[in-house]
Amino acid sequence: MSKSVLITGAGSGFGKLSALALLERGHHVIATTENEEQAATLHREAPGLVVEKLDITTSDIEHVSQWTIDVLINNAGAGETGPLADVALDRVRRLFEVNVFGTLRITQEVLKSMVQQRSGRIIIMSSIAGVVAAPSFGPYSMTKFSLEAMGKAMRSELAPLGVDVTLINPGPYLTGFNDRMADSMWEWFSDASLNAPQAELFHVVGDFVTTAQRDPQEVVERLVQLVEAESTEENNFVPPDIKAQLGLA
């Protein structure tokens, strides 16, 4: 059955690939992007998509509650790395504004109609970083741990109202996001600020996240399954054995 799917952060990465895959499967897809350039590009590539510029960190999303949405994919997000002893609080605040408060803001808007119709699904893009915090990835993990709490609480709260909430937890996938995030700390931080073992640790972790990244189509396929499934699990790790690979299971 065709569903109406709203995807945030569809200008690139998992969001864009998922929008195209869901459109191909006959779903009505509203793909939102951070800026007009991304919106124009996406509309040219896939005229069948409904494309909207939408900034989840602003109040300009209030009209979203007027749309009939069956599934919301909360994909929009930002990445930031750096040692927590040194990272500027403004950087961490910005990360929370996008990943946590922005996600909660648009979810609340979409839920207005879902609760009224007593049906719907919220898919939250978490991460393996939402269950394990690695050195230098603390700022990002803080936001993903928060999304884990949000998703788990909402899943229990909304189930009696007919709304399903689930989290997806990808490992390192080749979308460009991980590379930009791993590099972000070096825009303001220097090895000269670290002792040798600490510097080596940060570089090793950054290399681990950005080396041998997997095909993002695996995550896209899981997202499509979650959109179409009758029911979901609380967490969906991709690949399924990523926790075992990291010694967490």
| The total number of residues written for the chain in this structure | 249
Q: Which of 140, 145, 177, 202 is catalytic?
A: 140
Helix (H) or strand (E) holding 31: strand 28-33
Which residues 6+ apart lie within 8 Å of 53 measured at CB?
A: 32, 33, 34, 35, 36, 38, 39
Entry pTM: 0.95
Domains and CATH numbers, the chain: 4-245 (3.40.50.720)
Q: Which tokens in the block code for residue 58?
A: 């602003």
Which tokens sit at 7? Answer: 């995807």
CB 205 within 8 A of CB 137: yes
**Residue 112: Cβ within 10 Å count:** 12
What pLDDT shows up at residue 188? 87
- As given in the structure block, the two tokens for residue 156 are 């229990």
Q: Is the dihedral of CA 64, 155, 26, 172 positive or negative?
A: positive
What token pair was written down for 180?
């930009």
Per-residue pLDDT tens digits of the chain, which is 249 residues long: 899 999 999 999 999 999 999 999 999 999 999 889 999 999 999 999 999 999 999 877 888 888 899 999 999 999 999 999 989 999 999 999 999 999 999 999 999 999 999 999 999 999 999 999 999 999 999 999 999 999 999 999 999 999 999 999 999 999 999 999 999 988 888 877 666 677 788 888 888 889 989 999 999 999 999 999 999 999 999 999 999 988 886
Give me the helices (H) in 136-189, please.
138-158, 177-184
Cβ–Cβ < 8 Å for 71, 6:
yes
**Are 8 and 32 spatial neighbours (Cβ–Cβ below 8 Å)?**
yes
Return d(Cα 132, Cα 126) in angstroms, integer. Answer: 12
The question of whether 173 is a catalytic residue gets the answer: no
Q: Which long-range contacts (CB under 8 A, 24 or more apart) does 21-27 make?
A: 21/220, 21/221, 21/223, 21/224, 22/224, 22/227, 23/48, 23/49, 25/224, 25/228, 26/2, 27/2, 27/3, 27/227
> What is the DSSP annotation of 52-114?
EE--TTSGGGGGGGGS--SEEEE---------TTTS-HHHHHHHHIIIIIIHHHHHHHHHHHH
